[in-house]
Every structure is written in C-alpha cells, then in structure tokens.
Chain A
Amino acid sequence: MKTNFNNAPLAISQKTYRWLLRAYPKMHREEYGSAMAQLFRDQCRDAWNEAQGWGIMKLWLRVLPDLVSTSIRERLAALNERKTMNDKLTSLTRDRTTPTAIFINVFVAVFLITLIVATAITFILPESYASTARIKVESDPIDGPAQTPSYDPYFIQTTFEITQSQLVLNPVIDKLKLNVEWGKKYFAGQTLKTSQTLELLKQRLQLAPVRNTKLIAITVYSDDKNEAAQIANAIAEAYRDYRVRFRAESAAKEIDTLQQQYKFEEEQIQQVQSDLEFLRQQLKIASDATASRAPQEQPYWDKKHNLSQLLKLQELIYSKIEALKLDAQLPKNAAVQIVDRAEPGRAPVKPNKTLNIFLGVVAGGFLGLLAGGTSALAAFKFGNRGRKNVASA
C-alpha cells in the first residue's frame, strides 16, 4: 500500500534524525552525514509503507540504539586518532578530553537524544479519542415476554457477547457506512468487507459493567473524536433495537403456538359436544337436566365434566393470547435504556504524553549513565596508554 510520503510524521522523523547526527564527530558527519540522512529517509519511507506510525516507531527503536552506540564508537575513534597524532601532552591538560568531561558530554548527549526521541515518537503516534455511551439493561423473562424478568447469572456476560456480535455490530457498520469510510481512511479508498470492518470495530470497542448497577459502559476509540461518539451511540441504539426485535419475535412465536393450541382445543370441544349430544339423546336426558344421576347416565355426566374442563382450558389459552397481543403492542424500550449518550472527547486519551516524556527522562538518565560511564572508562584507559607512550618517547 503506497502512501503519500510528504506527511508530518516522516518530516519530523527526518528532521530529528538530521539533528541527532550532531552526536557524531564533525569529520564523520561531514563525510557521511548526508548519506546517513538519505538512508534514514529511505528507511522511513519503507517503514511508513509497511505500517504507518507503528512502522516509524519500530524504526526509531532500531535506529536509536544504533545511533547511540555508533556515535560513541566514532567519538572514541576520533579521540584515539587525535591522541595518536601529537596531541598527547596537551590532552593531559585539556578538560574536554578528561574522563569526567567525556562522561558529562556523553551523558548530556545521550540524555537529550533519548528525551528528544521519546518526545518525537509521542507526537508522531496517532492520537486516539474515547467516547462512552451508557445503557441500562434488564434481562428478558425466561417464561416469555408476558412474565416478569427473572435473575440470570450469565446475563451481563451474554449481553457483552451479543453486543460484540454481528447481530448488533453489522447494523452499526451499515448505518455509518464504515466499510466505505474506513476503506477511504485507512486502505487507500478500497471498500472493506464487512468481516474486515467488524474486526477493526471490535478492536476499538470496550465494554465494561458499572459496578453494583445494571449499567454497561460502551467505549469506542478512534482517531476522530466525533466518529468515536457516533459509533458508541450507534452501538447502544443497535443493541436496544436488537432487544426490541428479539422480544417481538419471541412474542409472535408464542402467540402463534398458543393460537394453534387454541384451534386444537376448539376441535376437541366440538367433538366432545357432539358426543355429549348423542349420549343425551340415547339416554333420553333432558337438555337442562342437572340433578338426576342414575348409574346408566354416568357416561353422559363424565363427558359433560370433560367438556367443562376443555372449555376452561380454552378460555385460559384465549386469555394468554390476548395478554401477549397486548404486551406486543406496548413499547419495549424499557428492556434497554440509553442512560448517557456518548459525546466527542475533549482531549485524546492516547498517547499519554506526560507519561511518555517522563519515561523518556528516566530512560535517558539510565542510558546516559551507562553510555557516559562506558565512554569515560574507555577514555581513561586510552589516556593511560597515551601517557605511557609519551613517557617512553
């Protein structure tokens, strides 16, 4: 994926590297400085094409130790060269080449280099904003929509999984046209597949329960603060829609099942009524008879009792169907309530500039001590050798 090379992170990196070349001795810099800067520019271009900001950061992590170690080596080589010429006597009295002076110079150089690089990387890294929408969720009743909700120990975990599923996120991708928008933004205009966008979206999504409440925080990270808020709100709405749809579909299925049951009961009732009429005529029982219970009439009364039971059951089914129909007409938004809508963040949450610069100071101090100590030790060794040579001359 080729990218426009004239961008800020690359320009800052190259400028910083050119400045850092001052760590090398002047002669080395004059001879190879421009070639090194050109090579770094080529490496920057490759790193950017490979992984944008992350590639540049990896390049710096590789180049910085290289720069520190080779600049120390070149400085020591230059120092040694100078000593071997005819400067040994004066070197004994020159403060700039004493181990202490070298320690201070190297320490300051390494400390500044590390700090500058840490700061540069912090400002090169893409900024990320976070926006959070909060929703209140109620579990669905296990025995059907008409029942009251019951306790479900897996409810929150199930909600998290559903919120991150295609059922909820695909409508968000469609609504915000993320396949096209992210294709333009990150993949040189190439429209993404929904599965690719889904993976990217999941990476930017964080769900967390709000302790001791029924609230869930939906946090979305993006380099665009408005986009982060839009996506977080869209996910909250998509989850609410999913729950409404789910409850409506469940109610419809239940009504359908009960209606079939009602029909079946009705057929049975008709059959029993017909049998009852046949028995009544056969046994010559008056249609309004209630008291006479001669033994030969028992089958008739048993059948009548059976009919009464069936009628009661049918009435119960009818009541349930009516209750479900009524429930289906009521708004279902109560199951999921968007408590707080996401707002665009005021400041980026990543990178943490203060922390990064602080780490730069700590790492710079440590590396400075290490490099300064090594250089001073080496200078002390070379200095002693030089003094011996001078003494023997």
Chain B
Amino acid sequence: MANPKTGPKSLLPLTPAVFHVLLALAGGERHGYAIMQEVAAGTDGQIKMGPGTLYGTVKRLLEARLIEESDERPDPHLDDDRRRYYRLTGVGEQVVKAEARRYAEIVELARGKKLIRKPA
C-alpha cells in the first residue's frame, strides 16, 4: 500500500476488495461480519468475501492507516463485545471518495460513448 501522505490519488485504483470494504465502512463503523454482509448486499450477492480475504484486506488497510480499530462499542446488550469494530480514518475517507469519483468519471465517459444510459 502506498504512503497516504502522497495524496489519496496515489493509492488509486483500489482493488475491488479494498474499495468494497472502504465503501462498507463509509456508512459507519462495522465489524467483520457486518462488512461482509454490506458488501454482499451492495453487490446483489455477487461478491461474498471469505474470512481470509476480508481480514487480509483489513490488515492492509490498517497498515496503510485508511481504517482504524474503534474502541467504542454499540449497546453491549445488542452485540457480542468480542467483535472488533473498524472505521474509516480521514485519509481513508478521502481515498474512498477519490475512488468513487474515479468510477463516476468512468461512468460519465461510458455514457458519453452511449454505452450506458442515465437511470430513469
């Protein structure tokens, strides 16, 4: 993973796994299972991350400081307090936004070439 200090764009393009994990965490802090479910729901079940891929990605994102482990826990009555929660860092947020913009530009380009239409 490149050094985030060189700017979010230096990290692009992200791998699909990294992008989906960051996207899942853009909705708030989540634990591993919730990230996996969010990714599966967001891709209509096309991407079902295994534990190895998910935690390998999490490890690299932590090393790159795009995400961080959260000490806060939701209501302990509602959840297992052994679960580890993760959230986006400021840099992580910038990176995922930059990647989303990159995708948006690609989509615009495809629309310009009439490969896809604007949603009704």
Chain A residues within CB distance 8 Å of chain B: 24, 28, 31-32, 34-40, 42-43, 62-63, 66-67, 69-71, 73-74
Asked whether B59 lies within 8 Å of A31 as measured between CB atoms, the reply is yes
Q: Which residue of A lies closest to B83 (CB)?
A: A38
Q: What's the Cα separation between A297 and B106 when bound, in Å? A: 113
Chain B residues within CB distance 8 Å of chain A: 32-33, 36, 48-56, 58-59, 80, 82-84
Asked whether A40 lies within 8 Å of B51 as measured between CB atoms, the reply is yes
Least Cβ–Cβ distance between A38 and chain B, in angstroms: 7
Q: What's the Cα separation between A74 and B58 when bound, in Å? A: 13
Could you show 20 A-B contacts with beta carbons less than 8 Å apart?
A: A24-B52, A28-B59, A35-B83, A36-B51, A36-B52, A36-B54, A37-B51, A38-B32, A38-B33, A38-B82, A38-B83, A39-B36, A43-B33, A43-B36, A62-B48, A62-B50, A63-B51, A66-B49, A67-B51, A70-B52
Tell me which of A32, A42, A67 contacts B50 (CB under 8 A): A67
Least Cβ–Cβ distance between A113 and chain B, in angstroms: 12
Asked whether B83 lies within 8 Å of A36 as measured between CB atoms, the reply is no
Q: What's the Cα separation between A35 and B53 when bound, in Å? A: 13
**Chain B residues closer than 8 Å to A24, beta-carbon distance:** 52
Q: Which residue of A lies closest to B84 (CB)?
A: A35
Classify the secondary structure of B's interface with A.
helix
Least Cβ–Cβ distance between B71 and chain A, in angstroms: 16
Q: What's the Cα separation between A32 and B58 when bound, in Å? A: 10
Tell me which of A35, A69, A70 contacts B32 (CB under 8 A): A35
Least Cβ–Cβ distance between A36 and chain B, in angstroms: 4
Tell me which of B33, B56, B82 contacts A74 (CB under 8 A): B56
**Chain B residues closer than 8 Å to A32, beta-carbon distance:** 55, 58-59
Q: What's the Cα separation between A30 and B78 when bound, in Å? A: 26
Asked whether B55 lies within 8 Å of A36 as measured between CB atoms, the reply is yes
Asked whether B83 lies within 8 Å of A69 as measured between CB atoms, the reply is no
**Chain A residues closer than 8 Å to B54, beta-carbon distance:** 36, 39
**Chain A residues closer than 8 Å to B55, beta-carbon distance:** 32, 35-36, 39
Least Cβ–Cβ distance between B61 and chain A, in angstroms: 12
Least Cβ–Cβ distance between B110 and chain A, in angstroms: 31
Least Cβ–Cβ distance between A228 and chain B, in angstroms: 35
Asked whether A66 lies within 8 Å of B53 as measured between CB atoms, the reply is yes
Asked whether B33 lies within 8 Å of A71 as measured between CB atoms, the reply is no
Asked whether B52 lies within 8 Å of A66 as measured between CB atoms, the reply is yes
Q: What's the Cα separation between A62 and B58 when bound, in Å? A: 19
**Chain A residues closer than 8 Å to B84, beta-carbon distance:** 35
Query: Which 8 pairs between the two chains have the least Cβ-Cβ distance?
Result: A66-B50, A70-B52, A36-B51, A32-B55, A42-B33, A39-B51, A66-B52, A39-B32
Q: Which residue of B lies closest to A37 (CB)?
A: B51
Tell me which of A34, A38, A69 contacts B52 (CB under 8 A): A69
Q: Which residue of B lies closest to A46 (CB)?
A: B37
Q: Which residue of B lies closest to A69 (CB)?
A: B52
Q: Which residue of B lies closest to A36 (CB)?
A: B51
Identify 4 new A-B residue pairs, CB closer than 8 A, beyond the known A66-B53, A69-B52.
Answer: A31-B59, A36-B52, A62-B50, A63-B52
* Known contacts A35-B84, A39-B36, A42-B33, A63 near B50 by CB under 8 Å: yes
**Chain A residues closer than 8 Å to B56, beta-carbon distance:** 70, 73-74
Q: Which residue of B lies closest to A64 (CB)?
A: B50
**In this complex, which of A24, A37, A63, A70 has the most chain B Cβ atoms within 10 angstroms of its Cβ?**
A70
**In this complex, which of B51, B80, B84 has the most chain A Cβ atoms within 10 angstroms of its Cβ?**
B51
Q: Which residue of A lies closest to B36 (CB)?
A: A39
**Chain B residues closer than 8 Å to A62, beta-carbon distance:** 48, 50
Q: What's the Cα separation between A230 and B50 when bound, in Å? A: 43
Least Cβ–Cβ distance between A155 and chain B, in angstroms: 49
* Known contacts A32-B59, A38-B33, A39-B33, A67 near B83 by CB under 8 Å: no
